[in-house]
Structure 1
Amino acid sequence: MPQKPKLLDHTESARAWWGVELRNWRRARGLSSAALGVKVQLSGTMVERIEKNERTCTTELARRLDQALDAGGALIRLWERVQAEADSPRDADKSASPTPDPGSGTPAAGTLRRNTDDGSKPPVIRRRFLAGGLAAAAPAALSGPDIPAAGTTPLPKSIRPQDIDQIRAASTALAQWDNLYGGGGMVREAFIGHLRWANDLLTVPCPVHLHNTLFTAVGQLAITMGASAFDAYDHPTATRLLSFGTRCAEEAANWHLRAVGCNWQARQAIWTGTPDEGLTHAEQGLVRAERLTPREQAMLHNARARAHAKMGHHQEALTAIATSDEIFSYARPGEDGPWMTYYDHAQHHGDTGHAAFDLALTNPRTVRTAAQRLHTAVQHHTDSYLRSRALSGTKLATLLMTTGDPHHATATAHRALDEAGRLRSQRALDDLRALGRSTHPYRHHPDITELRHRITTLITP
């Protein structure tokens, strides 16, 4: 039976009220969310999430929705109330709704602004970022009585370069740990102190010459944490942190970090079953692509390939893979920021291999391409990227098992299981479940029986 529509609370905020009215107008016009989405070039899922106040809107989109529903300006006028609430000084320190408000004074996606003030950035401006980002993403458990209170270390009176260096160091350490062990367990918990510290630093006056550097550092930390939360399947936290980190990159006028944020937003959307939304994030990241390095462009074209593959767009996916390959061939050492350290030869082949894997399940002509790319990733990933190697190895084993090579698949699978067993990664567990399902036709073979037992042991809580 279809799920009962979620009850919406119009008293939560002006934006929640706007979502309720959007749903009311849509129903009054007899349109499904998918039908309305076609009129405004959105997916039906995105329309529903805007109605539920789970995704933000923009003034331009509000105008298009008003026109599509023939609302006579009612939705536009109500949207002005949403913007007024977002811009109100009394709301600056409040915890915000699930995603950042479009009226928060930050640039829209794809438009970067440089700070030209002569003095320090007022703390209230940065608190608007907090409302939709790090503070909103902190786990509820932080308020428990057994957790030490934040603020035991005095904040500086003004942001100093060494404060920013600490944030960068935290991002580097967390990324390394996450790549080795996955986003669950200790890795998932370790960021809380860094989260609080970065959160508090954004309330400290910042000299103008450090403004962009501060927002870049905090944005990098937020995106690193968001990617880790995604791996742990804490998707609400991941969504907020990735959105917040991307907005920090925009505030810092850092196109390179913004591309990374858009890439992780795309990957999460694709993984959670909304590849059309993922494609949108990837294409937003490619705005002004000439400002990005070859690795950054290739990374985003891989996200496009994976989105198209999930939607069954075979030719578009293959074209995106070919584009990514060509652009990646121009990459040179030393031209990328620290957030792109992971994206090497092995990662490129792993990402394109994952896209080709989805195509190979329905198109035998792409099996060899997928297998070769995944094999290259497994062979070239270093021990520092254990999770990436395990994910590519599991995919390769599943592909070989599905296409009728159980002997080779079993040997590949055992190595992947050796590595996956050291991780706390929900993504890795999901891939192991898919591998287990692929063994079903050979379940009576002794070697496969042993493999199935190992898989069951690993995925059982």
Structure 2
Amino acid sequence: MGQSPKNLEPTRSALHFFGAELRRLRQALGMSQADLGKLVFVHKDLIRKIEGAERRPNEELVNRCDHALAAGGALRRLWPMLERERRLRLSRDAAGPGLVFRSEATDRPVLDWLLASTHDARQHRGDDEVATAAAEKLGQLRGVDHVHGAGQTYPAVAAVLDTDLDALVARAPAIAAGFLELAGYEAVDLGVDGRAQRHYLRALDVVTGAGDRLYGGYLIAVSLAHLALHCGDPEQAARLAAAALRGTEHQATPAVRAAFRAVLARAHARRGDEAACATALLQVEADLARGKPEEEPPWIRYFGEADLADEKAHCFFDLGLHELAQREANLAITLLDPGRARRLAIDTALQASSLARAGQIDHACAVGREAVDHAAGVASFRSAHRIGLMMAELQPYSDLAAVRDLAEYVHTQMPAAVTQQSP
């Protein structure tokens, strides 16, 4: 007698989602596990274990299964998610430095920042032609990144770091840190979390040495704390945001405090602490109400209603408050610049995921199609990952026509996934 199929939770992990999709595609063709095993040259027990999320396939087997099941790339598209999940698991074991995100790697640099001079270097900038040209290039690359994703711009940013970083650190440390921050943000967008952490920590070292207390706090509370959240460590994210708030108590402007507290709210939500999250969000709103954009550092002036709505939507989604999550996601989408394709893709997919969790499947699929339209135009692992999470929410309803149609739309419209092998 054959073993009963293991119950899967597609939203639990990429491995569970892959197993559920593999099983769905195989059964749709009327194949047994033995039939598929023969086609891809493995034993049926391995197929059973992969479908049960007990074994992780390698990339070659993923490709063979995709071909054998005529999946049109549906399984291959999940490989970057599987690989990133594997790297995160390695971080708990004996992974070498730099391969993966490691929470403990931030502890000493943050302590060094806390103990360093409290000089406020917001006005420090390089005025020579080299620094001016670098600042203009940094602004241009940020703009391209927002529209097209890191797959388009990271090589150019990496080239600047390779050739000009040392000179910029000496002549214009704020601009050097800006390039490093952008490189870290783009590494996150490529799914290379360990590389992102290295870029962010190098930026923190630069601004700590330059005495730029406030920008250092931003790198800790926003860049590194968001990365900790992205890598599944809300405890570390909360510690980082709290450290930055304490360390900039006498320098932080309203918008800076608001951005720091928004990350703290996200950490509370991820931990399931609704009361602490609500308190932090109220403080964010109060901070923003007191702020004057012209008095804020240039690097924080972006943080406004659209960004707050985005942070709230993620908080409410994590807390299971789906009506509120959908409202805030819709507000963020409405307020965002139409050119911010990656952010629109992420927020629209989050809204669709929330609708799916609330059982509004037809509406979720309609919104999900809009998310795919946004994501199709950007070279971004984060966008593709968010679409994958959205489809994981809908996987239990894969027998419905609307979900099948959306899955087919994803397969035909989404570009090849941006992977960890990117430069």
**TM-score normalised by the chain length of structure 1:** 0.63
Q: Deviations over 1:156-198 (max 9, x none)?
A: xxx86222222322321222111112222x2121112211233
Deviation, 1:401, is 1.4
Q: Which residue of 2 aligns with 1:375?
A: 330
Deviation, 1:114, is 7.0
Which residue of the other structure, out of 178, 184, 192, is the alignment partner of 1:226?
184
Cα separation, 1, equivalents of 2:217 and 2:316? 22
**2:135 maps to 1:181:** no
Which residue of the other structure, out of 353, 356, 364, is the alignment partner of 2:313?
353
Q: Which residue of 1 aligns with 2:40?
A: none
Q: Which residue of 2 aligns with 1:328?
A: 288
Cα separation, 2, equivalents of 1:229 and 1:249? 20
Q: Contact 1:294–1:331 at 8 Å: present in 2 too?
A: yes
Q: Deviations over 1:5-25 (max 9, x none)?
A: xxxxxxxxxxxxxxxxxxxxx
Cα separation, 2, equivalents of 1:174 and 1:314? 38
**2:384 maps to 1:429:** yes
Cα separation, 1, equivalents of 2:103 and 2:310? 32
Deviation, 1:230, is 1.1
Deviates further, 322-331 or 227-236: 322-331
Q: Deviations over 1:216-259 (max 9, x none)?
A: 12112111111111111122221111011122222222233223
The letter of the residue matching 1:183 is A
Deviation, 1:284, is 1.9
Deviates further, 447-456 or 395-404: 447-456
User: What secondary structure, in the 3-state scheme, does the structure 1 residue paired with 2:184 have?
Assistant: helix
Which residue of the other structure, out of 226, 231, 245, is the alignment partner of 1:267?
226
Q: Which residue of 2 aligns with 1:243?
A: 201
Q: Post-superposition, which runs of at least 4 consecutive aligned residues in structure 1 deviate over 3 A?
A: 47-57, 98-102
How many aligned residue pairs are there? 320
**2:134 maps to 1:113:** no
User: What secondary structure, in the 3-state scheme, does the structure 2 residue paired with 1:286 have?
Assistant: helix
The letter of the residue matching 1:261 is L
Cα separation, 2, equivalents of 1:170 and 1:197? 14
Q: Contact 2:265–2:315 at 8 Å: present in 1 too?
A: yes
Q: Contact 1:107–1:250 at 8 Å: present in 2 too?
A: no
Deviation, 1:417, is 0.9
Cα separation, 1, equivalents of 2:169 and 2:366? 54
Cα separation, 1, equivalents of 2:144 and 2:137? 11
Q: Which residue of 2 aligns with 1:309?
A: 269
Q: Contact 1:302–1:355 at 8 Å: present in 2 too?
A: no
The 5 A counterparts of 1:3-402 are: 108-113=112-117, 161-184=128-151, 186-201=152-167, 214-262=172-220, 263-287=222-246, 288-360=248-320, 366-402=321-357
Change (3 A) 1:442 1:51: closer
User: What secondary structure, in the 3-state scheme, does the structure 2 residue paired with 1:329 have?
Assistant: helix
Deviation, 1:451, is 0.7
Cα separation, 2, equivalents of 1:50 and 1:255? 34
User: What secondary structure, in the 3-state scheme, does the structure 1 residue paired with 2:295 have?
Assistant: coil
What stretches of structure 1 of length at least 5 have no aligned partner?
A: 3-44, 58-97, 116-158, 207-213, 361-365
Q: Deviations over 1:275-296 (max 9, x none)?
A: 2111122112212334212221
Change (3 A) 1:258 1:99: closer
Cα separation, 1, equivalents of 2:106 and 2:289? 37
Deviation, 1:373, is 0.9
Change (3 A) 1:114 1:269: closer
The letter of the residue matching 1:176 is G
Cα separation, 2, equivalents of 1:99 and 1:233? 19
Deviation, 1:318, is 2.2
User: What secondary structure, in the 3-state scheme, does the structure 2 residue paired with 1:391 have?
Assistant: helix
Deviation, 1:266, is 0.4
User: What secondary structure, in the 3-state scheme, does the structure 2 residue paired with 1:289 have?
Assistant: coil
Q: Deviations over 1:302-325 (max 9, x none)?
A: 111111222222222222222212
User: What secondary structure, in the 3-state scheme, does the structure 1 residue paired with 2:114 have?
Assistant: coil
Higher relative CO (CA 8 A, sep ≥ 6), structure 1 or 2? 2
Deviation, 1:271, is 0.6
User: What secondary structure, in the 3-state scheme, does the structure 2 residue paired with 1:382 have?
Assistant: coil
Change (3 A) 1:49 1:318: farther
User: What secondary structure, in the 3-state scheme, does the structure 2 residue paired with 1:312 have?
Assistant: coil
The letter of the residue matching 2:236 is E
Coordinate RMSD, CA, aligned: 3.2
Q: Deviations over 1:354-395 (max 9, x none)?
A: 1211111xxxxx222211111100111002322112111110
Q: Contact 1:298–1:328 at 8 Å: present in 2 too?
A: yes
Percent same amino acid among aligned pairs?
Answer: 20
Change (3 A) 1:341 1:224: farther
